[in-house]
Amino acid sequence: MPPIDRVRLASDATIISTLHQFLDRLEHFVMPVAAVTALHRVRHAAKEETQAWQRSVLEGGSLVDELAEHALVAAGLQVHLATLAAGLDPSALSPVGDGVCPACGGAPVASIIVDRANAHGNRYCVCSMCATQWNFVRIRCCSCGSTKGVGYQEIDGANGTIKAETCDECGTYVKVMYENLDTTIEATADDIGTLALDLLMKDGPYRRAAYNPFLLRF
Ligand SMILES: [Zn+2]
Ligand SMILES: [Zn+2]
């Protein structure tokens, strides 16, 4: 099991404290009316309702009727999980399965090809919730681990920095982002920024395996 226990997290009182500190900081930003309304609702929600939103995010769900509240709770959870992950000893982490974060058990939001010292051209999966990056060999399905039937698709005329890596074995795709070609890439934000690629893939045989708490499941 990964060291960050998601089952226990949902009832961890410190998460709500982190969430409220995060929401306090958002108060100072100019936001659309719908976002202000959601912020007020989350700030004053009963503990049980907040925990239900947290469970939904941790289980990879998306609430169509409460999308703004869900996004705010997800952002607060990301702060909390990233803080927990940052306190772990990387050398103590071990793989827990394909498509699973070794720190918190979350699904990847995408994978990135990097150009870093001692890691030229290496690939890392990026956790959708705690931001941990774990090494994952290239041309291998990030969801099921198969090395057979892996292909790449992108929108016509795109610059090749973000593609959908498809797998014929499990019928899914996860985006691969080439940070070595564009150093400004940020996995969670650029996953949303390339929604057009998901819409293209929606018409094909592959379903999306990655999780992004700021996108509806489709
Ligand atoms: Zn994680
Ligand atoms: Zn697969």
- Per residue in 175-204, pLDDT (tens digit) is 999 999 999 999 999 999 999 999 999 999
DSSP, res 74: H
pLDDT digit string, tens, across residues 70-80: 999 999 999 99
CA of 147 to the centre of ligand 2 (A): 8
Domain extent listing, the chain: 6-86, 91-208
Nearest ligand by distance to the CA of 146: 2
Ligand nearest to the CA of 125: 1
Q: Are 115 and 121 in contact (CB under 8 A)?
A: yes
Ligand 1: distance of its center to the CA of 127 in Å? 5
Give me the count of residues in the chain.
218
C-alpha 157 to ligand 1 mean position (Å): 33
Ligand nearest to the CA of 145: 2
Q: Is the pLDDT of residue 91 over 80?
A: yes
Assigned CATH for 91-208: 3.90.1670.10
**Ligand 2 centre distance from Cα of residue 153 (Å):** 15
- Residue 52 tokens, joined: 């239900």
Per-residue model confidence (pLDDT) at position 218: 62
Q: What is the pLDDT of residue 137?
A: 94
pLDDT at 65: 80
Ligand closest to 207 (CA) is 2
- How many CA atoms lie within 13 Å of 140's alpha carbon, on the beta-carbon side? 14
Question: What is the whole-number distance in angstroms between the Cα of residue 110 and the centre of ligand 2?
Answer: 14
Q: How far apart are CA 3 and CA 127, in angstroms?
A: 14
The conformation of residue 100, written as its DSSP 8-state character, comes to S
124 Cβ contact partners less than 8 Å away, ≥ 6 residues apart: 111, 112, 114, 133, 134, 135, 136
Distance from C-alpha of 71 to C-alpha of 45, rounded to nearest angstrom: 15
Average pLDDT, the chain: 93
Proximal ligand: closest to the CA of 80: 1
User: Which element (helix H / strand E) includes 123?
Assistant: strand 119-127
| Token pair 């051209």: residue | 121
Residue 107 in this model has a pLDDT that exceeds 90: yes
Ligand closest to 77 (CA) is 1
What ligand is nearest to the CA atom of residue 88? 1
Predicted pLDDT at 168:
98
Question: How far, in Å, is the centroid of ligand 1 from the Cα of 98?
Answer: 13
Residues near ion ligand 2 (CB < 5 Å) are: 141, 143-144, 146, 167, 169-170
Alpha carbon of residue 205 to chain centroid: 22
Joined together, the tokens standing for residue 111 give 């994978």
Strand partners, 119: 116
Ligand 2 centre to CA of 126 (Å) is 17
> Does the pLDDT value for residue 51 go beyond 70?
yes
Give the HSE-up count for residue 159: Cα atoms under 13 Å, Cβ half-sphere: 7
